[in-house]
Structure 1
Amino acid sequence: MSTESSRMRSDARENRARIVAVARELFADRGLEVPMATVARRAGVGVATLYRRFPTKGSLVTEAFIEQFAVCVSVVDDALSDPDPWRGFCTVISQVCEMQAQDRGFAAAFTAELPDGHIDERTRALRGFAELVQRAKDSGRLRADFAMDDLTLVLMANRGLSAAPAELAPAASRRLVAYLLEAFRAGSNTSLPPPVPLSLDQVLLRR
């Protein structure tokens, strides 16, 4: 292979990586409605180059968030394998909030309706979490009135920490989660207001 060919292949890989990184940042910040032309301009490539790498917007979105989907599923699967369901529940809440604090694209990855079967992975993660919630309730460690909609409340509150300096957000998130987990622990005699039917898509994909 000639030096020129090697350089061209290297440039193509760098262009692809830059496009994916820029797309992920834009989708996380503005939602999935960001035009492809905006992605190309921010990445410093032509629109034709972008479409050669990613023929459809769906293929770009999928590539941008593929790692986050794998993380979503693995976090829940690991928690389900824990013999202590309360510990597994706490682990999911803690890790999801930590990833959200460190990477604003995580929420978009977890909630967006993506092509190529990735919506199945999101459903798998949410169903797994619902199973974990029930196990934790059955163990007597999680309060009986915890609802799946409360996961949305947790992520809403945690997302608010994005206003904090980037270097402080992870620590602030850990402290917030510690407070919330204490509130979720069974043993309180205080009744809560009814759950609020919040949509993850509506809440977490807002700009």
Structure 2
Amino acid sequence: MTDRLPHTLRSDALNNRERILDAARAVFAVEGLDVPMREIARRARVAPATLYRRFPTKEMLVTEAFAEQMYACRAVVDEGLADPDPWHGFCLVIEKMCELNARDGGFTAALTSTFPRAVDFDARREYALRSIAELARRAKEAGRLRPDFALDDVILVLMANSGIHASSPAAKVTASRRFAALAIQAFQASPDASSLPPMARPAPPASASRGQGGQYSSCT
């Protein structure tokens, strides 16, 4: 029993850490980065002291919670920048960012939230945004991206994409791909009205899923 005790403690500590990070990602994705640390501890079902022992500051928690999303974001923008065709690279970034967002709501929170005191987090975020801006500049010079495009348009697309509700994760990804295709056509300097990916019927938000009398209401 004595020999096994340290291993048990390490396992408990690891489980606590993962619960804290899972809770932080979930709450940050929905409510932003201003959520109190005590609320994150409550949702993770750990004592506040346990949370602060693992993550003494919110900056450390934010950086660790979104590390995977920011690495994925960097990989996407680097792939887009490496494409010899800037328009194709730009389209790839929009498509893959929307899909990442559909698979993980924390992705958009990581990209669109500013947390100046979290140096590593903010540096990765700024790198991603600068890279998208550079890719957009190249696509404009090639005559493929509309001249009035602004970087904030990407943020708007991601925020709208994060609002997609679907009956399953797979259906959400399908709907996100169609939405990305629509956004890309809007971004083109001369839209070619190419065919869209297949439609996935979005699910209404929970608060709007029932009309009067408990019946589902929809505009069809």
Q: Same fold (TM over 0.5)?
A: yes
TM-aligned CA distance change 1:156 to 1:118, over 3 Å: closer
Q: Is the 8 A contact 2:87 2:145 kept in 1?
A: yes
Q: In structure 2, how many angstroms separate the alpha carbons of the residues matched to 1:40 and 1:33?
A: 14
Q: In structure 2, how many angstroms separate the alpha carbons of the residues matched to 1:147 and 1:33?
A: 27
Specify which of 153, 156, 174 is matched with residue 153 of structure 1: 156
Q: Is the 8 A contact 2:69 2:107 kept in 1?
A: yes
CA offsets per residue over residues 106-165 of structure 1, 9 Å max, x none?
11111222303321111111111111011111122222222222212312321221x333
Counterpart position of 1:198:
none
Q: What TM-score results when the alignment is normalised by the length of structure 2?
A: 0.80
- When the two chains are superposed, the root-mean-square deviation of aligned CA atoms in Å is 1.8
Q: In structure 1, how many angstroms separate the alpha carbons of the residues matched to 2:111 and 2:150?
A: 18
Amino acid at match of 1:124: Y
SS at match of 1:141: coil
Amino acid at match of 2:9: M
TM-aligned CA distance change 1:48 to 1:153, over 3 Å: closer
Specify which of 116, 120, 136 is matched with residue 119 of structure 2: 116
Q: In structure 2, how many angstroms separate the alpha carbons of the residues matched to 1:48 and 1:121?
A: 29
**1:183 CA drift (Å):** 2.4
Counterpart position of 1:73:
74
Asked which structure has the greater RCO (Cα within 8 Å, sep 6+), the reply is 1
Q: In structure 2, how many angstroms separate the alpha carbons of the residues matched to 1:183 and 1:48?
A: 50
Q: Is the 8 A contact 2:108 2:159 kept in 1?
A: no
Counterpart position of 1:141:
144
Question: Unpaired segments of 5 or more residues in structure 1?
Answer: 189-207
Counterpart position of 1:28:
29
Counterpart position of 1:13:
14
- Higher mean alpha-carbon deviation, 163-172 vs 81-90, is at 163-172
Q: In structure 2, how many angstroms separate the alpha carbons of the residues matched to 1:102 and 1:171?
A: 11
Q: What TM-score results when the alignment is normalised by the length of structure 1?
A: 0.84
